[in-house]
Amino acid sequence: MQRELNRAGTDFRNLANTARIQRATELLRHANGSITRVSAEMGYSSPANFARAFRKATGRAPREFRSKLYQGVDP
């Protein structure tokens, strides 16, 4: 499996992180739960770690992502 992923230019960690961020994005879009709750559900050890990973992946902090969403701007 690892060889196939390498041929595709990725690895398991990148795939897992991408899936986590996609799910977190869905939860932030559709759930009314807190960012702390989303970070715990996604398995991050702290909301700060979640925010850092989310910002690195999307270019926005989770709070900024949500505020743009509520303003009607496509995050």
Domain ranges across the chain: 2-70
The rounded distance, in Å, linking the Cα atoms of 15 and 33 is: 25
| pLDDT for the residue 71 | 63
Contact between residue 54 and residue 65 where contact means Cβ atoms under 8 Å apart: yes
| pLDDT for the residue 33 | 81
| pLDDT for the residue 52 | 96
The rounded distance, in Å, linking the Cα atoms of 48 and 53 is: 9
Q: Could you tell me the fold of the domain covering 2-70? A: Arc Repressor Mutant, subunit A (1.10.10)
Contact between residue 75 and residue 69 where contact means Cβ atoms under 8 Å apart: yes
Mind listing the pLDDT tens digit for each residue in 27-73?
A: 998 877 899 999 999 999 999 999 999 999 999 999 999 887 766 65
| pLDDT for the residue 61 | 95
Copy the structure tokens of residue 60: 């926005």
75: pLDDT strictly greater than 80 = no
